Amino acid sequence: MTSRVEILNDGGYRSDGRRQHELRDFNIDLSVRGQADGCAMVSHGLTQVLVSVLGPREAKNRSQTIHNRAIINVELSIAPFSSSERRKRSRNDRRILEFAAAVKSTFEPVIQVHLYPRSHIDIFIQVLQQDGGLLSASINATTLALITAGISLFDYVSAVSAGVHSTHPLLDLTALEENDVPYLTTAVMPRTGKVTLVTLETRLHADRFEEIFRLACDAGKVIHKEMRQAVMARTGQLVRALDIGLHDQGALQRDTEDDQEMRID
């Protein structure tokens, strides 16, 4: 069976100009402001996701709490303009519920829920643009949003998709590629090497699975480095802003004391 589109040309280039093992541009914005405790905007190529985290906070209904751990809640919304498909999906759409459940199961073993008894941690995922790799982008953005919210994690979680065209492995698939080749999405914890999620959207031959899986895990480590650098850069900005604020406060206090001394004299 031949491909409906040219996934890989004779020169070894994909439709967007990348080689087989190349990742798309990965952009992170941790300066997003809002009412949430933590926010992160992540772009994998043309796919863009905004994640907001609220909590840990006390639940309104005590019957919805667990006495020795936090409850994680994940909600997903997809902007109607995020893709060429104009179908409006409700929160009860089966696909959206499955997606939210996948994100929740990814982070339940990663968030140190025992530190937040009788509380809720709410994760809100907003899909702004779609061009493949939506689950991996959402997982990476959720990791960063949880970190900016100050929620304790056992490790980062970094995710990426990988597939195979004929005998050629591909990394970080676009929507065009996802529609035409078998692929999986893998989420790894880089420090421990543990895998917290593997999803297969289509059938993948058993002989190809190990190669694609290992490729995705290695790419996850590359994504992790980018995420860690972004967190360190954002932390540095906040520390510098705090130092400037303390310096200005100290200068104001000294000016006030000088004025008081002058009035006393």
For 92-105, the pLDDT digits (tens) are 688 899 999 999 99
Query: What is the pLDDT at residue 62?
Result: 78
Query: What is the pLDDT at residue 85?
Result: 61
Q: Which residue ranges of the chain lie beneath pLDDT 50?
A: 1-3
Quick: pLDDT tens for 204-213: 888 889 999 9
Query: What is the pLDDT at residue 90?
Result: 59
For strands 70-78 and 119-129, give the pairing: parallel
Query: What is the pLDDT at residue 205?
Result: 82
Alpha-carbon distances of 27 from 141, 179, 218, rounded to whole Å: 10, 24, 19
- Domain boundaries, given as residue ranges, for the chain: 26-264
Query: What is the pLDDT at residue 2?
Result: 46
Query: What are the tokens at 23?
Result: 């990742």
Q: Provide the angle, in degrees to the nearest 10, between the axes of the packed helices 94-107 and 134-148.
A: 50
**pTM higher than the cut 0.95:** no
Residue among 188, 224, 183 at smallest CA distance from 20: 183
Residue pair 47/158 in contact by the 8 Å Cβ criterion: no
Query: What is the pLDDT at residue 233?
Result: 94
Q: How buried is residue 111: exposed, middle or buried, by Cβ count under 10 Å (0-12/13-18/19+)? A: buried
Architecture of domain 26-264: 2-Layer Sandwich (3.30)
The residue behind tokens 């972004």 is 230
Identity at 242, one-letter amino acid code: L
Q: How buried is residue 21: exposed, middle or buried, by Cβ count under 10 Å (0-12/13-18/19+)? A: middle
